[in-house]
Amino acid sequence: MAKSSVLGYPRIGAEREWKKALEAFWAGKLDQSEFHEQLKEIRLNHLRKQMDKGIDLIPVNDFSYYDHVLDTATMFGIVPKRFSYEGGVVPLSLYYGIARGTKDATASEMTKWFNTNYHYIVPELDGAEPAITENKPLNAYREAKELLGIEGKPVILGPLSFLKLSKGYAATETDSWLERLLPLYVQILRELAHEGVQWVQIDEPILVTKVSAEDVRRLKSIYDSFASAVPELNIMLQTYFESVENYSDIVALPVKGIGLDFVHGLSGNLSAVRQSGFPADKVLGAGVIDGRGIWKASLQEKLALLKELTGIVSSDRLIIQSSCSLLHVPVTVQNEKKLLPELKGALAFADEKLDEIVLLTKADVSGETSIAVELVQYESDLQALKQSGERNRNDIQQSVAAISAQYPARHLPFTERHLVQRDKWQLPLFPTTTIGSFPQSAEVRKARQLWRKGEWSNERYAKFIEEQIDIWVKLQEEIGLDVLVHGEFERTDMVEFFGEKLAGFAFTQFGWVQSYGSRCVKPPIIFGDVAFEEAMTVEETKYAQSKTERPVKGMLTGPITIMNWSFVREDITREQIAYQLAYALRQEVEALEKAGIGMIQVDEPAVREGLPLKEQDQANYLQWAVKAFRMTTSTVQDTTQIHTHMCYCEFHDMIDSIEAMDADVISIETSRSHGELIHSFELNTYELGIGLGVYDIHSPRVPRVEEMSSMIDRALRVLDPQLFWINPDCGLKTRGFEETVDSLRNMVEATRIAREKHSLTVK
């Protein structure tokens, strides 16, 4: 008989109690033992929930105090050299220091977890002396067993993925690093086996990306050594987010189970299983319930899929599970009270996905009739959404089809636009600017809360926002910035804000997901056709511009980012959704221009994260993503300067596409990866305006002038000084007031020094 499982459960809690505990601890409002107690309570609640729902194999060690990749690194004593660490259990202060930076040391780089909006802390191997500091999976297993009687399934990030996601070593050192790490993994697994653990889930998501022959060899040697060290342990080699490359090598590995994604890797994995079969001595972890989407599954379709799979793998060798960890979806639909019934009826978050998994397993164990009622209910819920008027707006569909039939372009090419814009704007060498947001202080959030509750009128709230703009326009002038912003005080989140004003979106009340550390996002749901209804940003931008002679940049979130940071409908393609968004946002760009705003930034930080994991799908995605950006921005006059901004990922492999977006200026995150992006510009030419972020905004640490000067000097060795801008890495909404002002003052000072140094050499 099939069993049920999930690959991981959200950490944050239905009311974000995890986030609140972390932030209270950091703020000194919880002492360490209270903090541990609160987190334990949250962890146990999550395990209890899975047990009560009837999940057979419940994951443990998926919980984290910040991030599971950081946990793996610290479990092996891998701590960046710049922190003082002399071995042993990594204390919480150091753990959070690595993640968030300290007064004396910068934080580790943070980057996207594959193609999701979750960010992990990149382990730095350089100079590390790996040694086991504590067996975290074992501790988690013991806790679940002793306190709840749960026979947990420890989850561990596998060695190949861990190495591939780390930095600080040369490719030629991969084998020697593997040799150092393998005995540690073996020791962890031995202790688990000794404890009587039955199943261990070893995550190797890297296997869905292009894997070299060398890596396949490494994979074999890793799992051979595990098999000979702990033959009694059932290892589920788990993959997710796409279909595996090298199916036949993977299923030949000496492990008990192979976990495959039959949602996001459906066609590849299913055809591999169909063509090559599945080994008779192994268990198939069938990821049939979407771990990162929010829609109810069609149980009928899932049963048909499972029927096909059980034709190849007998039920007793099948585990019905989520396609990936449920970390990427909100906790429960149950508390949502404000959604349209046809929408709410079609949603499934983490807890509802547990129900779906249990239902499908029940159908396998007791026959389809045992879930007959649910089968009918699910189909009727999905039908109701399909028929919603919001999904069937012919006017929008026709306009978007007409506009997207042509390839959008500005009137003049950049080289000519650049000259016209130089004459118009008369900016100094190395213009300084910021990315858009200024600190969202407690006062700002409180004001918004009061307004949302109806305790503040629209007028009072608008007045409050204007006061914030006043303060920051003055401050920006006083600090000496050249291109100002209004500060985005009216915005909760850069996606949610726009979604709330466009047609076709819905918003949950509690649908939070972890983005990085304690920071969460509440992705909007694009469930209908998207349309512009009224100007969204003109009032605040115009107001800020009225308060200064210096240019104020208008600030929008781009179509691809809005799409990638929302949960989207699945009845039309992502490309179609992107064009609908682009058409709506173009109307906002035009409204800003009409209101006299001559610099407009269209942020696209999430372009990279939407890049398909399979190389063969990437060019097509980039082609329509670039087209959507150009649809948004290309109808403006030549003198109007279009900016864009990107952060949070590696961009070196997509510089050509970034250039094809044809933005007059891009500001791009560089500093947290310690300038690695600059190296890419040594290899690629980039001939549009560019500001490389000169300081990391994720850390409360105020960067020194010399640090920024050296970033600037390094960048100017490879970039055209005439096209170079100076700015922070990203928006400043998460920072405090004083550190922001001090950091910007230092940035302006570093710019002054650079201008002095370079003014003679630049014509």
Residues that bind Zn ion (CB under 5 A): 605, 647, 730
Among 38, 238, 440, 537, binds ligand LYWDKB7T (CB under 6 A): 440
- Please name which of 387, 302, 377, 299 lies closest in space to residue 343, comparing C-alpha atoms: 387
Distance CA 597, CA 679 (A): 34
Check the annotation: does 218 bind a ligand: no
Cα 210 to Cα 222, 390, 654: the distances in Å are 18, 39, 17
**Nearer CB in complex with Zn ion: 504/605:** 605
Give min distance, CB of 438 to ligand LYWDKB7T, in A.
13
Give per-residue burial for 298-315: e unless 16+ CB within 10 Å, then b: ebeebbebbeebbeebee
**Nearer CB in complex with ligand LYWDKB7T: 4/115:** 115
Q: Is 698 a catalytic residue?
A: yes
Check the annotation: does 649 bind a ligand: no
> What is the side-by-side order of every strand in the sheet holding 599-603?
553-557, 599-603, 641-646, 665-668, 689-693, 724-727
Residue 506 — φ and ψ, nearest 5°? -135, 155
Do the Cβ atoms of 109 and 674 come closer than 8 Å?
Answer: yes
Give min distance, CB of 729 to ligand HCS, in A.
9
| Residue 730 lies near ligand HCS (rule: CB under 6 A) | yes
- Half-sphere exposure of 603 toward its Cβ, with a 13 Å CA cutoff? 27
Check the annotation: does 520 bind a ligand: yes
Among 121, 494, 600, 719, binds ligand LYWDKB7T (CB under 6 A): 494
Among 445, 460, 474, 679, binds ligand LYWDKB7T (CB under 6 A): 445
- Span near ligand HCS by CB under 6 A; candidates 152-160, 253-261, 434-442, 706-714: 434-442
Distance CA 309, CA 315 (A): 9
Do the Cβ atoms of 159 and 167 come closer than 8 Å?
Answer: no
Q: Which residues partner with 30 through β-bridges?
A: none
Tell me the three state secondary structure of residue 388. coil
Distance CA 122, CA 112 (A): 10
| Residue 565 lies near ligand LYWDKB7T (rule: CB under 6 A) | yes
Residues 617-676 that bind ligand HCS (CB under 6 A): 645, 647
Residue 174 — φ and ψ, nearest 5°? -55, -45
**Nearer CB in complex with ligand HCS: 107/602:** 602
Catalytic residue (one of 328, 411, 698, 758): 698
Q: Using only C-alpha atoms, what is the Rg of the chain?
A: 26
**Nearer CB in complex with ligand LYWDKB7T: 205/605:** 605
Distance CA 505, CA 339 (A): 11
Do the Cβ atoms of 498 and 536 come closer than 8 Å?
Answer: yes
Check the annotation: does 678 bind a ligand: no
Among 74, 108, 117, 332, binds ligand LYWDKB7T (CB under 6 A): 117
**Nearer CB in complex with ligand HCS: 293/605:** 605
Distance CA 399, CA 579 (A): 10
**Nearer CB in complex with ligand LYWDKB7T: 507/543:** 507
Among 67, 143, 204, 493, binds ligand LYWDKB7T (CB under 6 A): 493
- CB neighbour class for 124 (10 Å; exposed up to 12, middle 13-18, buried from 19): buried
Report the C-alpha dihedral over residues 177, 179, 185, 186, rounded to 10 degrees. Answer: 180
Among 267, 449, 546, 722, binds ligand LYWDKB7T (CB under 6 A): 449
| Residue 487 lies near ligand HCS (rule: CB under 6 A) | no
Q: Pick from Zn ion, ligand LYWDKB7T, ligand HCS, none: which does 436 bind, CB < 5 to 8 A by kind?
A: ligand HCS
**Nearer CB in complex with ligand LYWDKB7T: 269/325:** 325
- Please name which of 290, 246, 241, 262 lies closest in space to residue 114, comparing C-alpha atoms: 241
- Going 583 to 589 to 590 to 595, the CA torsion angle's sign is positive
Annotated binding site: which residue ranges? 16-19, 112, 117, 435-437, 488, 519-520, 565, 603, 609, 645, 647, 669, 730
Question: What does the binding site for ligand LYWDKB7T look like in residue numbers (CB under 6 A)?
Answer: 117, 440, 445, 448-449, 492-495, 515-516, 519-523, 565, 605, 648, 734
Annotated binding site for 5-methyltetrahydropteroyltri-L-glutamate: which residue ranges? 16-19, 112, 117, 519-520, 565, 609
Active site (catalytic) residues = 698
Annotated binding site for Zn(2+): which residue ranges? 645, 647, 669, 730
Annotated binding site for L-methionine: which residue ranges? 435-437, 488, 603
